[in-house]
Amino acid sequence: MTLPGTQPPFIQVIAVLPYIELLVFGILILLVSALSRGRNLRLVQLLTFAGLASAAYSSLSLWGQGRLQFDQSHMVVMDNTSVYVLTLLCIGGLLTALTATNFVTRQEKLRGEFYALILFCIIGMGVLASTLDLIVLFLAVELLSIGLYVLAGFDREKLFSNEAALKYFILGSFSSAFLLLGIALLFGASNGTTDIAQMLSAQPSPYLSLESFTVNTWPLSTVGWSLVLVGMAFKMALVPFHVWTPDVYQGAPTPVTAFMSVGVKAAALTALLRIMVATDLFAIEKWSTMLATLAILTMTVGNVIAIAQNSLKRMLAYSSIAHAGYLVLGVVAGGDPGMVSKYMGYQAILFYLAAYTFMNLGAFAFVIYAGADGDLSLDRCKGLGFRHPIPAAAMAIFMLSLAGIPPTMGFLAKIYLFQSVVAAGDTGLAVIAVLNSVVAVYYYLRVVVMMYMHESPEEKTVTDKSRGLLLAVCGCALVTLLLGIFPAAVIKIVQMCS
Protein backbone atom coordinates (compact mmCIF):
# COMPACT_ATOMS: atom_id res chain seq x y z
CA MET A 1 0.00 0.00 0.00
CA THR A 2 1.37 3.34 -0.98
CA LEU A 3 0.00 6.44 0.55
CA PRO A 4 -0.10 9.41 -1.79
CA GLY A 5 2.71 11.81 -1.28
CA THR A 6 4.86 9.51 0.77
CA GLN A 7 7.81 7.50 -0.49
CA PRO A 8 7.98 4.23 1.40
CA PRO A 9 11.19 2.25 1.18
CA PHE A 10 10.87 0.13 -1.91
CA ILE A 11 11.00 -3.44 -0.74
CA GLN A 12 9.48 -6.49 -2.38
CA VAL A 13 9.50 -9.30 0.09
CA ILE A 14 7.99 -11.58 -2.49
CA ALA A 15 11.25 -11.57 -4.41
CA VAL A 16 13.04 -13.27 -1.54
CA LEU A 17 10.09 -15.24 -0.24
CA PRO A 18 11.48 -18.63 -1.33
CA TYR A 19 14.66 -17.98 0.60
CA ILE A 20 12.77 -16.91 3.67
CA GLU A 21 10.75 -20.09 3.51
CA LEU A 22 13.86 -22.21 3.19
CA LEU A 23 15.36 -20.40 6.15
CA VAL A 24 12.26 -20.83 8.28
CA PHE A 25 12.02 -24.51 7.53
CA GLY A 26 15.73 -24.96 8.14
CA ILE A 27 15.43 -23.39 11.57
CA LEU A 28 12.32 -25.45 12.27
CA ILE A 29 14.27 -28.58 11.42
CA LEU A 30 17.05 -27.58 13.77
CA LEU A 31 14.54 -26.95 16.54
CA VAL A 32 12.71 -30.20 16.02
CA SER A 33 15.84 -32.26 15.94
CA ALA A 34 17.22 -30.50 19.00
CA LEU A 35 14.01 -31.05 20.95
CA SER A 36 13.60 -34.66 19.90
CA ARG A 37 17.33 -35.33 20.24
CA GLY A 38 17.61 -36.43 16.71
CA ARG A 39 15.13 -39.26 16.99
CA ASN A 40 12.30 -37.83 15.02
CA LEU A 41 13.76 -38.39 11.57
CA ARG A 42 10.39 -38.80 9.84
CA LEU A 43 9.21 -35.40 10.91
CA VAL A 44 12.49 -33.81 9.94
CA GLN A 45 12.28 -35.34 6.49
CA LEU A 46 8.71 -34.20 6.15
CA LEU A 47 9.73 -30.67 7.08
CA THR A 48 12.52 -30.83 4.51
CA PHE A 49 10.17 -31.87 1.76
CA ALA A 50 7.65 -29.24 2.84
CA GLY A 51 10.33 -26.55 2.87
CA LEU A 52 11.60 -27.48 -0.56
CA ALA A 53 8.10 -27.77 -1.97
CA SER A 54 6.96 -24.43 -0.60
CA ALA A 55 10.13 -22.70 -1.80
CA ALA A 56 9.71 -24.21 -5.24
CA TYR A 57 6.04 -23.28 -5.24
CA SER A 58 6.53 -19.67 -4.27
CA SER A 59 9.40 -19.27 -6.68
CA LEU A 60 7.31 -20.80 -9.47
CA SER A 61 4.55 -18.34 -8.69
CA LEU A 62 7.02 -15.63 -9.70
CA TRP A 63 7.44 -17.20 -13.14
CA GLY A 64 6.79 -14.85 -15.99
CA GLN A 65 6.46 -11.77 -13.78
CA GLY A 66 9.43 -10.07 -15.33
CA ARG A 67 12.33 -8.98 -13.21
CA LEU A 68 11.47 -8.53 -9.53
CA GLN A 69 13.97 -6.92 -7.23
CA PHE A 70 14.16 -7.05 -3.49
CA ASP A 71 15.00 -3.36 -3.30
CA GLN A 72 16.20 -0.77 -5.75
CA SER A 73 19.66 -2.25 -5.91
CA HIS A 74 20.43 -5.46 -7.76
CA MET A 75 21.18 -7.44 -4.64
CA VAL A 76 18.56 -10.08 -5.28
CA VAL A 77 16.96 -10.26 -8.67
CA MET A 78 14.09 -12.64 -9.32
CA ASP A 79 13.54 -13.25 -12.99
CA ASN A 80 12.66 -16.37 -14.95
CA THR A 81 16.22 -17.62 -14.83
CA SER A 82 16.30 -17.34 -11.04
CA VAL A 83 13.00 -19.17 -10.80
CA TYR A 84 14.23 -21.89 -13.14
CA VAL A 85 17.50 -22.44 -11.32
CA LEU A 86 15.96 -22.25 -7.89
CA THR A 87 13.34 -24.81 -8.84
CA LEU A 88 16.07 -27.03 -10.20
CA LEU A 89 17.98 -26.62 -6.94
CA CYS A 90 14.90 -27.55 -4.94
CA ILE A 91 14.47 -30.66 -7.07
CA GLY A 92 18.13 -31.44 -6.49
CA GLY A 93 17.69 -30.94 -2.76
CA LEU A 94 14.62 -33.17 -2.79
CA LEU A 95 16.46 -35.94 -4.60
CA THR A 96 19.39 -35.61 -2.21
CA ALA A 97 17.07 -35.85 0.77
CA LEU A 98 15.48 -38.94 -0.76
CA THR A 99 18.80 -40.65 -1.29
CA ALA A 100 20.21 -39.81 2.12
CA THR A 101 17.76 -41.60 4.40
CA ASN A 102 19.94 -44.57 5.23
CA PHE A 103 23.09 -42.51 5.48
CA VAL A 104 21.47 -40.13 7.93
CA THR A 105 20.01 -42.98 9.94
CA ARG A 106 23.46 -44.42 10.41
CA GLN A 107 24.73 -41.23 12.08
CA GLU A 108 24.41 -41.48 15.83
CA LYS A 109 24.00 -37.80 16.47
CA LEU A 110 23.52 -34.84 14.20
CA ARG A 111 20.61 -36.16 12.20
CA GLY A 112 18.35 -33.23 11.52
CA GLU A 113 21.27 -30.93 10.90
CA PHE A 114 21.94 -32.72 7.66
CA TYR A 115 18.65 -31.57 6.20
CA ALA A 116 18.89 -28.09 7.67
CA LEU A 117 22.33 -27.68 6.10
CA ILE A 118 20.99 -28.79 2.74
CA LEU A 119 18.30 -26.13 2.92
CA PHE A 120 20.81 -23.46 3.94
CA CYS A 121 23.10 -24.46 1.10
CA ILE A 122 20.21 -24.11 -1.33
CA ILE A 123 19.64 -20.58 -0.05
CA GLY A 124 23.28 -19.81 -0.80
CA MET A 125 23.10 -21.41 -4.24
CA GLY A 126 19.82 -19.71 -5.06
CA VAL A 127 21.07 -16.28 -4.06
CA LEU A 128 24.28 -16.84 -6.00
CA ALA A 129 22.19 -17.59 -9.05
CA SER A 130 20.05 -14.50 -8.63
CA THR A 131 22.33 -11.66 -7.64
CA LEU A 132 23.90 -8.89 -9.62
CA ASP A 133 25.91 -7.53 -6.74
CA LEU A 134 29.44 -8.61 -5.97
CA ILE A 135 29.10 -8.38 -2.18
CA VAL A 136 25.97 -10.51 -2.20
CA LEU A 137 27.72 -12.85 -4.60
CA PHE A 138 30.53 -13.26 -2.10
CA LEU A 139 28.12 -13.80 0.76
CA ALA A 140 26.21 -16.38 -1.23
CA VAL A 141 29.41 -18.22 -2.10
CA GLU A 142 30.38 -18.29 1.57
CA LEU A 143 26.91 -19.34 2.65
CA LEU A 144 26.84 -22.35 0.37
CA SER A 145 30.49 -23.18 0.99
CA ILE A 146 30.31 -23.21 4.77
CA GLY A 147 27.28 -25.47 4.59
CA LEU A 148 29.12 -27.79 2.25
CA TYR A 149 32.28 -27.86 4.36
CA VAL A 150 30.22 -29.21 7.23
CA LEU A 151 28.27 -31.59 5.03
CA ALA A 152 31.46 -32.98 3.49
CA GLY A 153 32.65 -33.91 6.97
CA PHE A 154 29.29 -35.15 8.11
CA ASP A 155 30.42 -38.75 8.38
CA ARG A 156 32.47 -37.99 11.45
CA GLU A 157 33.58 -41.53 12.12
CA LYS A 158 35.27 -41.78 8.76
CA LEU A 159 38.75 -40.44 8.23
CA PHE A 160 38.14 -39.77 4.55
CA SER A 161 35.14 -37.65 5.28
CA ASN A 162 37.08 -35.54 7.76
CA GLU A 163 39.93 -35.20 5.33
CA ALA A 164 37.56 -34.12 2.59
CA ALA A 165 36.02 -31.45 4.78
CA LEU A 166 39.36 -30.08 5.85
CA LYS A 167 40.79 -30.01 2.35
CA TYR A 168 37.69 -28.38 0.98
CA PHE A 169 37.73 -25.81 3.75
CA ILE A 170 41.40 -24.86 3.40
CA LEU A 171 41.37 -24.63 -0.37
CA GLY A 172 37.96 -22.98 -0.31
CA SER A 173 39.25 -20.26 1.99
CA PHE A 174 42.21 -19.85 -0.29
CA SER A 175 39.96 -19.27 -3.29
CA SER A 176 37.63 -17.01 -1.29
CA ALA A 177 40.60 -14.80 -0.64
CA PHE A 178 41.11 -14.38 -4.37
CA LEU A 179 37.44 -13.73 -4.91
CA LEU A 180 37.34 -11.08 -2.21
CA LEU A 181 40.50 -9.40 -3.44
CA GLY A 182 39.02 -9.30 -6.91
CA ILE A 183 35.84 -7.71 -5.61
CA ALA A 184 37.86 -5.14 -3.68
CA LEU A 185 39.84 -4.21 -6.77
CA LEU A 186 36.68 -3.87 -8.82
CA PHE A 187 35.14 -1.75 -6.10
CA GLY A 188 38.09 0.56 -6.33
CA ALA A 189 38.26 0.55 -10.08
CA SER A 190 34.64 1.45 -10.54
CA ASN A 191 34.53 4.33 -8.12
CA GLY A 192 32.84 2.53 -5.33
CA THR A 193 30.08 0.36 -6.62
CA THR A 194 29.60 -3.36 -6.21
CA ASP A 195 26.67 -3.49 -8.58
CA ILE A 196 27.76 -5.54 -11.55
CA ALA A 197 25.29 -3.89 -13.87
CA GLN A 198 26.54 -0.41 -13.03
CA MET A 199 30.20 -1.22 -13.13
CA LEU A 200 30.70 -0.43 -16.75
CA SER A 201 28.95 2.90 -16.65
CA ALA A 202 30.53 4.01 -13.37
CA GLN A 203 33.18 6.69 -13.45
CA PRO A 204 36.57 5.40 -12.50
CA SER A 205 37.94 6.47 -9.21
CA PRO A 206 39.71 9.82 -9.56
CA TYR A 207 42.61 8.53 -7.51
CA LEU A 208 43.49 5.94 -10.04
CA SER A 209 43.21 7.44 -13.44
CA LEU A 210 41.59 10.12 -15.47
CA GLU A 211 40.87 7.76 -18.30
CA SER A 212 37.36 6.59 -18.66
CA PHE A 213 36.69 3.11 -17.42
CA THR A 214 36.51 0.24 -19.80
CA VAL A 215 37.12 -3.37 -19.13
CA ASN A 216 39.46 -3.45 -22.00
CA THR A 217 41.99 -0.85 -21.03
CA TRP A 218 41.88 -0.77 -17.32
CA PRO A 219 44.38 -3.13 -15.73
CA LEU A 220 42.92 -2.77 -12.25
CA SER A 221 39.51 -3.95 -13.35
CA THR A 222 41.08 -6.65 -15.50
CA VAL A 223 42.92 -8.03 -12.52
CA GLY A 224 39.76 -7.69 -10.45
CA TRP A 225 37.63 -9.60 -12.93
CA SER A 226 40.23 -12.31 -13.35
CA LEU A 227 40.35 -12.88 -9.61
CA VAL A 228 36.54 -13.04 -9.47
CA LEU A 229 36.74 -15.54 -12.30
CA VAL A 230 39.25 -17.57 -10.31
CA GLY A 231 36.87 -17.64 -7.36
CA MET A 232 34.03 -18.88 -9.54
CA ALA A 233 36.29 -21.32 -11.35
CA PHE A 234 37.16 -22.89 -8.03
CA LYS A 235 33.51 -23.42 -7.24
CA MET A 236 32.83 -24.87 -10.69
CA ALA A 237 35.99 -26.98 -10.51
CA LEU A 238 37.60 -25.69 -13.67
CA VAL A 239 41.15 -26.82 -14.35
CA PRO A 240 43.56 -25.83 -12.77
CA PHE A 241 41.33 -24.92 -9.85
CA HIS A 242 39.80 -28.38 -9.76
CA VAL A 243 42.46 -30.07 -7.68
CA TRP A 244 40.26 -30.34 -4.61
CA THR A 245 37.42 -32.01 -6.46
CA PRO A 246 38.44 -35.69 -6.65
CA ASP A 247 39.51 -35.93 -3.03
CA VAL A 248 36.50 -34.06 -1.71
CA TYR A 249 33.99 -35.83 -3.92
CA GLN A 250 35.38 -39.20 -3.00
CA GLY A 251 35.72 -38.52 0.71
CA ALA A 252 32.41 -36.79 1.30
CA PRO A 253 29.31 -38.89 1.99
CA THR A 254 27.84 -39.84 -1.39
CA PRO A 255 24.54 -37.92 -1.02
CA VAL A 256 26.55 -34.80 -0.26
CA THR A 257 28.79 -35.41 -3.26
CA ALA A 258 25.74 -35.76 -5.45
CA PHE A 259 24.24 -32.59 -4.05
CA MET A 260 27.28 -30.42 -4.45
CA SER A 261 28.28 -31.71 -7.86
CA VAL A 262 24.93 -30.55 -9.17
CA GLY A 263 23.94 -27.60 -7.03
CA VAL A 264 27.17 -25.62 -6.88
CA LYS A 265 27.68 -26.02 -10.58
CA ALA A 266 24.21 -24.75 -11.40
CA ALA A 267 24.53 -21.76 -9.10
CA ALA A 268 28.03 -20.73 -10.12
CA LEU A 269 27.29 -21.07 -13.81
CA THR A 270 24.18 -18.99 -13.53
CA ALA A 271 26.21 -16.35 -11.72
CA LEU A 272 28.71 -16.45 -14.57
CA LEU A 273 25.85 -16.12 -17.06
CA ARG A 274 24.60 -13.04 -15.22
CA ILE A 275 28.07 -11.48 -15.27
CA MET A 276 28.21 -12.32 -18.97
CA VAL A 277 24.92 -10.63 -19.75
CA ALA A 278 25.44 -7.64 -17.47
CA THR A 279 28.99 -6.73 -18.46
CA ASP A 280 29.57 -8.20 -21.93
CA LEU A 281 32.93 -9.14 -20.50
CA PHE A 282 33.25 -12.26 -22.59
CA ALA A 283 32.53 -10.40 -25.78
CA ILE A 284 36.11 -9.16 -25.55
CA GLU A 285 38.32 -11.49 -27.46
CA LYS A 286 41.01 -12.05 -24.87
CA TRP A 287 38.41 -12.90 -22.27
CA SER A 288 36.62 -15.38 -24.45
CA THR A 289 39.97 -16.88 -25.39
CA MET A 290 40.80 -17.27 -21.73
CA LEU A 291 37.46 -18.87 -21.06
CA ALA A 292 37.79 -21.18 -24.05
CA THR A 293 41.24 -22.22 -22.85
CA LEU A 294 39.87 -23.03 -19.42
CA ALA A 295 37.03 -24.98 -21.02
CA ILE A 296 39.37 -27.05 -23.19
CA LEU A 297 41.72 -27.76 -20.30
CA THR A 298 38.84 -28.68 -18.04
CA MET A 299 37.14 -31.03 -20.48
CA THR A 300 40.31 -32.75 -21.50
CA VAL A 301 41.87 -33.19 -18.08
CA GLY A 302 38.57 -34.32 -16.60
CA ASN A 303 37.89 -36.88 -19.31
CA VAL A 304 41.40 -38.23 -19.62
CA ILE A 305 41.92 -38.78 -15.92
CA ALA A 306 38.44 -40.25 -15.53
CA ILE A 307 39.55 -43.11 -17.77
CA ALA A 308 42.18 -44.19 -15.28
CA GLN A 309 39.80 -44.39 -12.32
CA ASN A 310 38.57 -47.56 -10.73
CA SER A 311 36.33 -45.98 -8.13
CA LEU A 312 32.97 -44.95 -9.46
CA LYS A 313 32.76 -41.97 -7.14
CA ARG A 314 36.11 -40.68 -8.25
CA MET A 315 35.27 -41.34 -11.88
CA LEU A 316 32.08 -39.34 -11.50
CA ALA A 317 34.10 -36.58 -9.84
CA TYR A 318 36.32 -36.30 -12.90
CA SER A 319 33.32 -36.64 -15.14
CA SER A 320 31.73 -33.69 -13.36
CA ILE A 321 34.91 -31.69 -14.00
CA ALA A 322 34.59 -32.54 -17.68
CA HIS A 323 30.94 -31.47 -17.70
CA ALA A 324 31.90 -28.15 -16.14
CA GLY A 325 34.17 -27.74 -19.14
CA TYR A 326 31.31 -28.38 -21.58
CA LEU A 327 29.12 -25.93 -19.71
CA VAL A 328 31.72 -23.14 -19.92
CA LEU A 329 31.59 -23.59 -23.70
CA GLY A 330 28.07 -22.20 -23.52
CA VAL A 331 29.39 -19.05 -21.88
CA VAL A 332 32.00 -18.74 -24.62
CA ALA A 333 29.27 -19.11 -27.24
CA GLY A 334 26.88 -16.75 -25.52
CA GLY A 335 29.48 -14.15 -24.67
CA ASP A 336 29.27 -12.04 -27.78
CA PRO A 337 26.03 -10.04 -27.77
CA GLY A 338 26.46 -9.32 -31.44
CA MET A 339 26.15 -12.93 -32.44
CA VAL A 340 23.01 -14.99 -32.97
CA SER A 341 24.51 -17.51 -30.61
CA LYS A 342 23.97 -15.25 -27.59
CA TYR A 343 20.66 -16.68 -26.59
CA MET A 344 21.59 -20.13 -27.81
CA GLY A 345 24.48 -20.38 -25.38
CA TYR A 346 22.38 -19.08 -22.52
CA GLN A 347 19.53 -21.47 -23.23
CA ALA A 348 21.83 -24.38 -23.87
CA ILE A 349 23.45 -23.94 -20.48
CA LEU A 350 20.12 -23.80 -18.71
CA PHE A 351 18.93 -26.91 -20.54
CA TYR A 352 22.18 -28.67 -19.77
CA LEU A 353 21.85 -27.85 -16.10
CA ALA A 354 18.46 -29.54 -15.97
CA ALA A 355 19.76 -32.60 -17.78
CA TYR A 356 22.84 -32.69 -15.59
CA THR A 357 20.80 -32.45 -12.40
CA PHE A 358 18.83 -35.56 -13.24
CA MET A 359 21.48 -37.72 -14.80
CA ASN A 360 24.26 -36.93 -12.36
CA LEU A 361 22.15 -37.11 -9.22
CA GLY A 362 20.73 -40.35 -10.59
CA ALA A 363 24.18 -41.79 -11.17
CA PHE A 364 25.29 -40.91 -7.65
CA ALA A 365 22.05 -42.31 -6.29
CA PHE A 366 22.88 -45.59 -7.99
CA VAL A 367 26.33 -45.50 -6.38
CA ILE A 368 24.57 -45.18 -3.01
CA TYR A 369 22.26 -48.03 -3.94
CA ALA A 370 24.90 -50.49 -5.04
CA GLY A 371 27.67 -49.30 -2.78
CA ALA A 372 25.54 -48.89 0.34
CA ASP A 373 27.15 -45.49 0.79
CA GLY A 374 30.66 -46.84 0.73
CA ASP A 375 32.50 -46.39 -2.46
CA LEU A 376 31.66 -48.50 -5.49
CA SER A 377 34.53 -49.93 -7.47
CA LEU A 378 34.13 -50.94 -11.09
CA ASP A 379 34.69 -54.58 -10.17
CA ARG A 380 31.74 -54.53 -7.87
CA CYS A 381 29.51 -53.44 -10.74
CA LYS A 382 29.99 -56.81 -12.40
CA GLY A 383 26.76 -58.60 -13.05
CA LEU A 384 24.62 -55.95 -11.39
CA GLY A 385 22.57 -55.84 -14.55
CA PHE A 386 21.22 -59.29 -13.77
CA ARG A 387 21.01 -59.17 -10.02
CA HIS A 388 19.42 -55.73 -9.82
CA PRO A 389 17.82 -55.26 -13.21
CA ILE A 390 15.79 -52.13 -12.63
CA PRO A 391 18.35 -49.92 -10.85
CA ALA A 392 21.03 -51.17 -13.23
CA ALA A 393 18.90 -50.27 -16.22
CA ALA A 394 18.47 -46.82 -14.71
CA MET A 395 22.22 -46.55 -14.25
CA ALA A 396 22.72 -47.57 -17.87
CA ILE A 397 20.42 -44.72 -18.86
CA PHE A 398 22.42 -42.27 -16.75
CA MET A 399 25.68 -43.43 -18.24
CA LEU A 400 24.35 -43.19 -21.78
CA SER A 401 22.94 -39.78 -21.02
CA LEU A 402 26.18 -38.53 -19.47
CA ALA A 403 27.99 -39.84 -22.52
CA GLY A 404 25.52 -37.99 -24.70
CA ILE A 405 23.84 -40.83 -26.53
CA PRO A 406 20.23 -40.53 -27.76
CA PRO A 407 17.42 -40.73 -26.85
CA THR A 408 18.41 -39.21 -23.54
CA MET A 409 18.38 -35.71 -22.16
CA GLY A 410 22.16 -35.64 -22.05
CA PHE A 411 22.28 -36.09 -25.80
CA LEU A 412 20.03 -33.14 -26.49
CA ALA A 413 21.88 -31.03 -23.92
CA LYS A 414 25.14 -31.67 -25.74
CA ILE A 415 23.54 -31.05 -29.12
CA TYR A 416 22.18 -27.66 -28.08
CA LEU A 417 25.41 -26.69 -26.40
CA PHE A 418 27.65 -27.64 -29.28
CA GLN A 419 25.21 -26.11 -31.72
CA SER A 420 25.54 -22.79 -29.93
CA VAL A 421 29.32 -23.06 -30.08
CA VAL A 422 29.18 -23.68 -33.81
CA ALA A 423 26.74 -20.80 -34.26
CA ALA A 424 29.23 -18.56 -32.48
CA GLY A 425 31.74 -19.45 -35.13
CA ASP A 426 34.03 -21.49 -32.89
CA THR A 427 33.86 -24.66 -34.92
CA GLY A 428 37.28 -25.75 -33.72
CA LEU A 429 36.11 -25.55 -30.14
CA ALA A 430 33.07 -27.68 -30.97
CA VAL A 431 35.31 -30.28 -32.60
CA ILE A 432 37.47 -30.46 -29.48
CA ALA A 433 34.35 -30.84 -27.36
CA VAL A 434 33.02 -33.64 -29.56
CA LEU A 435 36.36 -35.45 -29.45
CA ASN A 436 36.23 -35.12 -25.69
CA SER A 437 32.77 -36.68 -25.61
CA VAL A 438 34.18 -39.58 -27.59
CA VAL A 439 36.83 -40.13 -24.95
CA ALA A 440 34.16 -39.89 -22.29
CA VAL A 441 32.07 -42.63 -23.90
CA TYR A 442 34.81 -45.06 -22.96
CA TYR A 443 34.57 -44.74 -19.22
CA TYR A 444 30.81 -44.33 -19.12
CA LEU A 445 30.19 -47.38 -21.24
CA ARG A 446 32.68 -49.36 -19.20
CA VAL A 447 30.23 -49.21 -16.32
CA VAL A 448 27.48 -50.56 -18.56
CA VAL A 449 29.79 -53.28 -19.85
CA MET A 450 30.69 -54.27 -16.30
CA MET A 451 27.05 -54.43 -15.32
CA TYR A 452 25.82 -56.43 -18.27
CA MET A 453 28.69 -58.33 -19.82
CA HIS A 454 30.54 -59.75 -16.86
CA GLU A 455 29.65 -62.57 -14.55
CA SER A 456 28.96 -61.44 -11.05
CA PRO A 457 31.42 -62.40 -8.33
CA GLU A 458 30.28 -64.93 -5.76
CA GLU A 459 29.71 -62.61 -2.80
CA LYS A 460 26.52 -60.69 -2.74
CA THR A 461 26.56 -56.94 -2.83
CA VAL A 462 24.95 -55.16 0.04
CA THR A 463 22.48 -52.68 -1.28
CA ASP A 464 20.78 -49.70 0.21
CA LYS A 465 17.13 -50.51 -0.25
CA SER A 466 15.42 -47.47 1.19
CA ARG A 467 12.31 -46.64 -0.74
CA GLY A 468 13.21 -43.01 -1.26
CA LEU A 469 16.48 -43.98 -2.88
CA LEU A 470 14.83 -46.35 -5.34
CA LEU A 471 12.29 -43.67 -6.10
CA ALA A 472 15.08 -41.19 -6.80
CA VAL A 473 16.95 -43.62 -9.07
CA CYS A 474 13.89 -44.61 -11.08
CA GLY A 475 12.48 -41.08 -11.18
CA CYS A 476 15.73 -39.62 -12.47
CA ALA A 477 16.00 -42.34 -15.10
CA LEU A 478 12.45 -41.75 -16.24
CA VAL A 479 12.93 -38.01 -16.50
CA THR A 480 16.26 -38.42 -18.30
CA LEU A 481 14.61 -40.65 -20.83
CA LEU A 482 11.24 -38.94 -21.23
CA LEU A 483 12.61 -35.43 -21.51
CA GLY A 484 15.15 -36.82 -23.94
CA ILE A 485 12.32 -37.96 -26.18
CA PHE A 486 9.91 -35.09 -25.53
CA PRO A 487 12.11 -32.10 -24.80
CA ALA A 488 9.75 -29.49 -26.22
CA ALA A 489 8.39 -28.33 -22.86
CA VAL A 490 11.81 -27.79 -21.30
CA ILE A 491 13.00 -26.01 -24.41
CA LYS A 492 10.07 -23.67 -24.28
CA ILE A 493 10.74 -22.93 -20.61
CA VAL A 494 14.40 -22.33 -21.25
CA GLN A 495 13.59 -20.01 -24.13
CA MET A 496 11.43 -17.94 -21.81
CA CYS A 497 14.38 -17.54 -19.46
CA SER A 498 16.60 -15.59 -21.79
Partner 1 sequence: MIDYLFLTILLPLVGVLVNGFFGARLPKKLVAVIGCGTVGAAFLIGVSALIALARLPVAERSVELSLFEWMAAGDLRVHAALLFDPLSAVMLVVVSGIGLLIHVYSIGYMWKDSGFARYFTYLNLFIVSMLILILGNNFVVFYVGWELVGLCSYLLIGFWFHKPSAADAAKKAFIVNRVGDLGFALGIFAIFAVFGTVQFSEVFHAIREPVNGFVDGQNLLVLGAIAVLLFIGAMGKSAQIPLYVWLPDAMEGPTPVSALIHAATMVTAGVYMVARCHVLYELVPGVLAFVGVIGAVTAVLAASIALVQHDIKRVLAYSTISQLGYMFLGCGVGAYAAAIFHLMTHAFFKALLFLGSGSVIHSMEHAIRHAHGDADPQDMRNMGGLGRHMRITALTFVVGSAALAGVPFLSGFYSKEEILTSAWEGNRLLWGLGVAGAVMTAFYMTRQVLKTFFGKFRLGDDIEAGLHESAAVMTVPLLLLAVGAVGAGWIAKPLHVFLSPVFNSQEVIHGGVEAAAHGGGHGSLMVIAICAAFAGIAVGVALYAKASDRPTRLAAALEPVHRLLYNKYYVDEIYDRLMISQGHALSRFLANVFDAHFIDGVVNGVAKVVGGVGEVLKKCQTGYVRNYALTMAAGVVAILLYFLMR
Please give the residue ranges that form the binding site for partner 1 (CB under 8 A). Answer: 166-167, 170-171, 174-175, 178, 219, 222-223, 226-227, 229-230, 234, 240-241, 243-244, 246-247, 286, 290, 301, 304-309, 415, 439, 442, 486-489, 491-492
Name the residue nearer to partner 1 (CB basis): 150 or 230: 230
Residues 56 and 208: their CA atoms lie apart, in Å, by 46
User: CB 163 → partner 1: shortest distance, Å?
Assistant: 9
Name the residue nearer to partner 1 (CB basis): 35 or 435: 435
User: CB 159 → partner 1: shortest distance, Å?
Assistant: 12
User: CB 143 → partner 1: shortest distance, Å?
Assistant: 22
Name the residue nearer to partner 1 (CB basis): 122 or 413: 413
Q: Are strands 77-78 and 68-69 parallel, antiparallel or unpaired?
A: antiparallel
Name the residue nearer to partner 1 (CB basis): 10 or 442: 442
**63, containing H or E segment:** none
Name the residue nearer to partner 1 (CB basis): 251 or 362: 251
The 3-state DSSP class for residue 462 equals coil
Residues 254 and 261: their CA atoms lie apart, in Å, by 10
Name the residue nearer to partner 1 (CB basis): 59 or 288: 288
- Are 50 and 29 in contact by the 8 Å Cβ rule? The answer is no
Nearest to 261 by CA among 275, 244, 273: 244
Beta bridge partners of 77: 69
Cα 248–chain centre separation: 15
- Are 284 and 264 in contact by the 8 Å Cβ rule? The answer is no
Residue type, 382: K
- Are 430 and 404 in contact by the 8 Å Cβ rule? The answer is no
Residues 476 and 296: their CA atoms lie apart, in Å, by 29
301-322 burial, b if ≥16 CB within 10 A, otherwise e? Answer: bbbebbeebebbbbbbbbbbbb
Name the residue nearer to partner 1 (CB basis): 126 or 172: 172
User: CB 474 → partner 1: shortest distance, Å?
Assistant: 14
Angle between helices 159-189 and 219-236 (to 10 degrees): 160
